[in-house]
Chain A
């Protein structure tokens, strides 16, 4: 018979292990200071990727540790934090991050309402509601460098940025047009910031990229695993790479006969939609930005009442 359990042995017992209470914002002050300095540098050099040491968080790399470190180094008492993933406050990862922030930053309130938030941490979306000057948008970034699609070596990419050498990106766009008659970059569409650095805007859809241009809110982008921070300061030029005769275009949500598909919930025909296949019949579409959609649906219901 297999022994039921590993037997207790009479060796040195494990001493009383540390059971720390966490510092406000989880990160220690040395880490926060380093991040804030990187943020200041990033704001001074719009679109430039500032390396930082990037602490491991209790959330896995790839799940928003870059955004989380920015949020935790910036929040203080009185802040109101909103966390979204895929536009939704209810996405499992958003729920988890919001819960963690609430736990380690007592005194900070969380919200799902875009209008109420002072700090919005997001993955893959920029809210539909235009942001204000006293808001900060923090985007989670998996790949901080737009040149990654044409050059794997970071050393080479840094030199290309320094020399404003974006020729291979332009060639990639041109080759797309030759091969597909369309530019194939679906999200993470490269954009030039303040006429200098070309930036990876994080995997937001092309739909959201124009919202970065002359944004009233400060936009900070954090890549935890790749250990980079960069920024789009308020009122800064953000221009997608485009040819004079082939304008940049956003996602189209259209029926076969060219009509705009509305959201089934709130009826919006001017928002980014999630397409949800159905077992039978055509797919349904609804707004990806949950707060925006619910507010609009409630307003419509109120008007009808």
Chain B
């Protein structure tokens, strides 16, 4: 009777890495001559993938996000994890002034609430009205037409755009249909430097959702949309574009633009809030969502959940989407995928304890008797 293998963990890991690498290089595929993906091609052509990785990784760095996508062979959870782990080692050097959504240079800006509005509706890039039919010509795309497509869009697009795009919510606020913004908002919580505790401040909730996993946010938000909640939402405004990042000048302290980041931003309006105080006149409810890159499903889901969580905070949670613990502790993809994967690790010891308990319980069930003193701890 032999002993079980007790060595070899290190070799097994090395061998596993080696086959993973072979798979990433397409070694088992039909075309052994396929060329490596360039990080530039991933960043530029699979931009929604890199956007999602930036967003869920919690770091706006499209180049590193593209590298993560390549390294993870397209797995968004794994790629976001790589970016997040890198981010965790970076010190926090300071704080930008709050980014101003109204200052966005929009590629897309729509409102489902009003037919027309100051600044106008800009449909921009959206898959919403595409007929989802295969474009078989992309199977064998020739580089010339590929490059011409970009040039054509530039040639066809007028340079002039409206100068400013006021926020739809400001129009509603002007009429008193939405409560005014908090004049003295509390300092925002940095969830990467302070533990998330409950009840979670709204800033912490929005930050946690901003780097939440798209599918998880969608699932819980969808539950509230379907009826596990009372939202009755209207998308007041959805924008995608570039927001300037302002940084205080090191000498003068004056905010100055140091660059811009791509952001999707959404405000939803709900029917209608009872008002924080007894006897107050009814107003619409507002939900806000924003995330890095172009990800409309995520921004809308966050906005829905922001509203649901505020309802839960004000009136007590009655459905899962209104419970901040339930929502915020279950939407983080990096946490959830890690814990899900950990069940694959050895659990010999705990299972041995389980066996011990079940056998003891079964033995006790065979000979029914009142509980009595058992042997003491050795």
Chain A residues with a Cβ under 8 A of chain B:
1-15, 17-18, 20, 22-23, 26-28, 30-31, 34, 51-58, 60-63, 65, 85-88, 90-96, 99, 124-125, 142, 153-155, 177-178, 180-188, 203-207, 210, 225, 227, 245-252, 264-265, 272-276, 278, 284, 286, 288, 290
Closest 10 CB pairs of A and B: A61-B338, A62-B342, A51-B195, A186-B353, A60-B338, A5-B35, A181-B364, A55-B88, A95-B9, A62-B339
Please classify the interface of chain A as helix (H, G, I), strand (E, B), loop, or mixed, using the class held by over half of its residues.
loop
Are B352 and A275 in contact, CB atoms less than 8 angstroms apart? yes
Check: B6 CB closer than 8 A to any chain A CB: yes
A284, B40: Cβ atoms closer than 8 Å: no
Q: Is the Cβ of A247 less than 8 Å from the Cβ of B374?
A: yes
Query: For the side of the interface on B, what is the size category?
Result: 35 or more
| Contact sample, A vs B, 9 pairs, CB 8 Å cutoff | A7-B141, A20-B89, A95-B10, A142-B339, A154-B198, A154-B325, A183-B357, A184-B357, A274-B352
* Contact between chains at A153 and B325 (CB < 8 Å): yes
Q: Is the CB of A205 within 8 A of B350?
A: yes
Bound together, the chains give a CA A181 to CA B373 distance in angstroms of: 11
12 additional contacts, CB 8 Å, given A30-B193, A227-B196? A1-B140, A30-B92, A55-B89, A56-B87, A57-B85, A61-B339, A61-B342, A63-B342, A86-B349, A247-B373, A247-B374, A284-B1
The answer to whether B357 touches A9, judged by C-beta atoms less than 8 angstroms apart, is no
Contact B139 A53 (CB under 8 A): no
Most chain B CB within 10 A, of A58, A125, A204, A278, is at: A58
Q: Are B361 and A85 in contact (CB under 8 A)?
A: no
Cβ-Cβ contact count across A and B, 8 Å cutoff = 238
Q: Which residues of B lie under 8 Å from residue A58 when comparing CB positions?
A: 82, 85
**Closest chain B residue, CB of each to CB of A30:** B91
Is residue B130 within 8 Å, beta carbon to beta carbon, of the partner chain? no
- Whether B94 is near chain A, meaning CB under 8 Å from some CB there, is no
Q: Are B346 and A85 in contact (CB under 8 A)?
A: yes
| Chain B residues positioned under 8 Å from A99 (CB to CB) | 10
User: Which of the candidate stretches B41-49, B160-168, B284-292, B300-308 sits at the interface with the other chain?
Assistant: B41-49
Q: Is the CB of B1 within 8 A of A247?
A: no
Do A22 and B89 touch (CB < 8 A)?
Answer: yes
With CB as the reference atom, state the residue of chain A lying closest to B67.
A17
Chain B: minimal CB distance from A93 (Å)? 6
Distance between Cα atoms of A88 and B84 in the complex (Å): 30
Q: Which residues of B contact A250 (CB under 8 A)?
A: 377-378
Q: Is the CB of B140 within 8 A of A3?
A: yes
A4 / chain B contacts, CB cutoff of 8 Å: 31, 33-35
Q: Residues of B contacting A2 with CB < 8 Å?
A: 31, 139-140
How far, in angstroms, from A247 to B378 measured CA to CA in the complex? 11
Residues of B within 8 A of A94 (CB): 9
Task: Answer whether residue B28 sits at the interface, using C-beta atoms and an 8 A cutoff.
Answer: no
Give B314-341 as 1s and 0s: 1 = Cβ < 8 Å from A's Cβ atoms: 0000000000010001000011011111
CB distance from B349 to the nearest CB of A (A): 4
Find out whether the CB atom of A265 lies under 8 angstroms from the CB atom of B3: yes
Contact B91 A28 (CB under 8 A): yes
The listed residue (A188, A248, A275) touching B355 by CB distance below 8 A is: A275
| Chain A residues, CB < 8 A from B338 | 60-63, 65, 225
Known: A155-B325, A284-B1. A272 touches B349 (CB 8 A): yes
Partner of B349, one of A53, A60, A125, A265: A125
Known: A61-B334, A142-B342. A88 touches B325 (CB 8 A): no
Within the complex, what minimum Cβ distance (angstroms) separates B273 from chain A? 23
The chain A residue sitting closest to B1, CB to CB, is A284
For residue B33, give the distance in angstroms from its CB to the closest CB of chain A: 6
**Inter-chain contact B364/A205, CB cutoff 8 Å:** no
In the assembled complex, the CB of B327 is this many whole angstroms from the nearest CB of chain A, namely: 13
| Shortest beta-carbon distance from A32 to chain B in Å | 12
B348 close to A274 (CB less than 8 A)? yes
Is residue B184 contacting chain A, with contact meaning CB distance below 8 A?
A: no
Q: Which residues of A contact B66 (CB under 8 A)?
A: 14
Q: How far is B4's CA from A284's CA once the two chains are assembled, in angstroms?
A: 10
Name the A residues within 8 Å of B90 (CB-CB): 28
Given A4-B33, A56-B87, A203-B349, A14–B13 Cβ distance below 8 Å?
Answer: no
Contact B341 A60 (CB under 8 A): yes
- Given A4-B35, A56-B85, A61-B335, residue A124 in contact with residue B341 (CB < 8 A): no
Contact B40 A14 (CB under 8 A): yes
The chain A residue with its CB closest to the CB of B139 is: A2
The yes or no answer to B182 lying at the interface (CB within 8 A) is no
Task: Closest B residue to A7 by CB, please name it.
Answer: B143
Measured CB to CB, the nearest residue on chain B to A207 is B353
Closest B residue to A251 by beta carbon equals B356
A124 touches B350 (CB 8 A): yes
On chain A, the residues within 8 Å of B143 by CB distance are 7, 9
